[in-house]
Amino acid sequence: MDKAKLLERLMATFLDELDDHVRSINEDLLTLEKGPDEDERKEILARLFRAAHSLKGAARAVDQQPIERVCHRLEEVFTGLRERSIEVSPQLCSLMLSAVDAIEAAGVQLREGAPLETDSLAGLEDPLEKAARGEPWQGDASPFEEPAEKERAVEATPADADTRQAEATAAGDANQDTPNSAPVSSASSESVVSDDSRPVAPAAGQEVAPKRRREPAASLATVRVAEEKLDSLLAQAGELLVARHRVEGRTTEAETLLDFVTAWKAEWLAVERTLGSLVRNDGADPLLRRSPRMAARIEHVVVQNGEFLRRLERMLDDFKQDLVADARTLKHASTAVQDDVHRLRMLPFSEACAGLERAVRDLSNTTGKQVRLQLEGGDIQVDRAVLEQISAPLMHLVRNAVDHGIESSEDRRAAGKPLPAQVTVTASLRGGQVEVVVADDGQGLNLDRIRQKLRDRNLPEPRDEKQLVQCIFLPGFSTASIITDVSGRGVGMDVVRNQLEALRGTIDIETKPGEGTRFVLSVPLTLTTIAALFVEAGGRTYALPSSNVRELVRFDSAQIRTAHGRSVAILGGAPLPVASLARTLGAVESQQASPHTRLLGVIVTSGADETVFTLDDVVGEREVVIKNLGPRVRRVPLVSGATILRSGRIALLLNAPQLTRAASGGQFLSAMPSQEDDRPTSHRLLVVDDSMTTRALMKSILESAGYNVVGAVDGEEAWERLQNENDVSAVVTDVDMPRMDGFALTQAIRNSQQWKKLPVVLVTARDREEDRALGVRSGADAYLVKSTFDQNQVLETLEQLLG
pLDDT value for 437: 94
Residue 14 lies in a domain: yes
Torsion region of 798: left, alpha or beta (phi above 0 gives left; psi -120 to 50 gives alpha)? alpha
Buried b (16+ CB within 10 A) or exposed e, 522-543: bbbbbbbbbebbbbbbbebbbb
Q: Residue 720 has what pLDDT?
A: 92
**What CA–CA distance (Å, rounded) separates 511 from 358?**
26
- How far, in Å, CA of 185 to CA of 162, rounded? 14
- For residue 295, name the pLDDT band (cuts at 50, 70, 90): low
Residues comprising the chain, all counted: 803
Is residue 135 located within the same domain as residue 102? yes
Least confident residue range of 71-75, 112-116, 747-751: 112-116
Same domain, 796 and 759: yes
Over residues 467-496, the mean pLDDT reads 63
Provide the pLDDT confidence category of residue 13 given band limits of 50, 70 and 90: confident
Say yes or no to pLDDT of 432 above 90.
no
More confident residue, 142 or 476: 476
Please tell me whether residues 594 and 546 are part of one structural domain.
yes
Indicate if the pLDDT at residue 138 is higher than 60.
no
Taking CA atoms, 34 is separated from 64, 191, 201, 630, in Å, by: 32, 8, 7, 46
Question: What's the mean pLDDT in 729-741?
Answer: 91
- For residue 581, is it within any domain? yes
Average pLDDT over residues 35-43: 88
CB 368 within 8 A of CB 393: no
Cβ-based neighbours of 374, under 8 Å, separated by 6 or more:
188, 189, 190, 422, 423, 424, 425
Domain boundary among 664, 696, 723: 664
The 3-class SS string of 344-362 reads HHEEEHHHHHCCHHHHHHH
- Which of 613, 615, 618 lies closest to 660, judged by CA? 613
- Long-range contact list for 323-328, CB < 8 A, 24+ apart? 323/247, 323/250, 323/251, 323/254, 324/251, 326/247, 327/244, 327/247, 327/248, 327/250, 327/251
Share of the chain above pLDDT 70, in %: 78
pLDDT of residue 627: 75
CATH number at residue 555: 2.40.50.180
Q: What percent of the chain has pLDDT over 90?
A: 12
Domain final residue, candidates 664, 695, 728 = 664
Each residue of 207-256: pLDDT tens digit?
333 334 344 344 445 666 766 777 777 777 777 777 777 787 788 888 88
Q: What is the pLDDT of residue 717?
A: 92
pTM: predicted TM-score of the whole model, two decimal places: 0.55
DSSP, res 627: B
Last residue of a domain, one of 97, 129, 146: 146
Q: For strands 188-193 and 381-383, give the pairing.
A: unpaired
Count of domains for the chain:
4
In this prediction, residue 728 carries a pLDDT of 92
Element (DSSP H or E) covering residue 397: helix 384-400
In a domain, 172, yes or no: no
324 and 231 fall within a common domain: yes
Residue 622 inside a domain? The answer is yes
* pLDDT at 744 (0 to 100): 94
- Per-residue burial over 682-694, b if 16 or more Cβ lie within 10 Å, else e, is ebebbbbbbbebb
If asked whether residues 250 and 331 sit together in one domain, one would say yes
Residue 427 pairs with which residues in a beta bridge? 436
Q: Is residue 197 part of a domain?
A: no
Secondary structure letter of residue 436 according to DSSP: E
Better-scored residue on pLDDT, 65 or 189:
65
Per the CB < 8 A criterion, the answer to whether 241 and 625 are in contact is yes
What is the H or E stretch that residue 512 is in?
strand 506-512
Angle at 378 between CA 374 and CA 381, to 5 degrees: 160
Q: What is the mean pLDDT of the segment spanning 48-74?
A: 87
| C-alpha–C-alpha distance, residues 798 and 701, integer Å | 12
Instruction: Write out the E strands in 635-734.
Output: 639-644, 650-654, 684-688, 708-712, 730-733
Sign of CA dihedral 212, 216, 218, 223: negative
For the cut 80, the answer to whether the pLDDT of residue 756 exceeds it is yes
The CATH number covering residue 103 comes to 1.20.120.160
C-alpha 489 chain-centroid distance: 26
Of 33 and 146, the structure prediction assigns the larger pLDDT to 33
Query: What pLDDT shows up at residue 172?
Result: 38
pLDDT value of residue 592: 64
Q: Are residues 18 and 128 in the same domain?
A: yes
Look at residue 276 in the predicted model and tell me its pLDDT. 66
- Is there a domain that residue 572 lies in? yes
Lowest mean pLDDT among 265-269, 323-327, 675-679: 675-679
Q: Residue 302 falls within a domain, yes or no? A: yes
Query: Between 16 and 440, where is the model more confident?
Result: 440
Helix/strand/coil for 591: coil
Q: Residues 164-221: pLDDT tens digits?
A: 333 333 333 433 333 333 333 334 444 444 444 433 333 333 333 333 434 434 444 5
pLDDT of residue 181: 35
Which pLDDT value is given to residue 606?
82
pLDDT in tens, 503-531: 888 888 999 988 999 999 988 887 777 88
Instruction: In whole angstroms, give the CA distance from residue 518 to residue 424.
Output: 9
- What's the confidence (pLDDT) of residue 58? 82
Contacts of 258 (CB under 8 A, 6+ apart): 313, 316, 317, 320
Average pLDDT (672-686) is 55
Q: Tell me, yes or no, whether 567 and 698 share the same domain.
A: no
Of 470-484, 613-627, 712-726, least confident by mean pLDDT is 470-484
Q: Indicate if 142 and 3 belong to the same structural domain.
A: yes
Quick one: pLDDT band at residue 749, thresholds 50, 70, 90? very high
**Same domain, residue pair 137 and 73:** yes
Which range has the top average pLDDT, 149-163, 251-265, 614-628, 712-726?
Answer: 712-726
- Those residues with Cβ within 8 angstroms of residue 14's Cβ, 6 or more apart along the chain or in another chain: 58, 59, 61, 62, 64, 169
In this model, does residue 672 exceed pLDDT 60? no
Range of the domain at 254: 227-345
- Is the same domain home to 142 and 1? yes
Question: What average pLDDT does the chain have?
Answer: 77
141 and 264 together in one domain: no
557-593 pLDDT, tens digit each: 777 777 666 788 877 767 888 888 888 888 777 666 6
Q: Which of 651, 389, 380 is nearest to 505 (CA)?
A: 389
Which CATH number do you get for residue 780?
Answer: 3.40.50.2300
Instruction: Identify whether 722 is part of a domain.
Output: yes
Query: 27 and 141: one domain?
Result: yes
Question: Would the pLDDT of 294 be above 70?
Answer: no
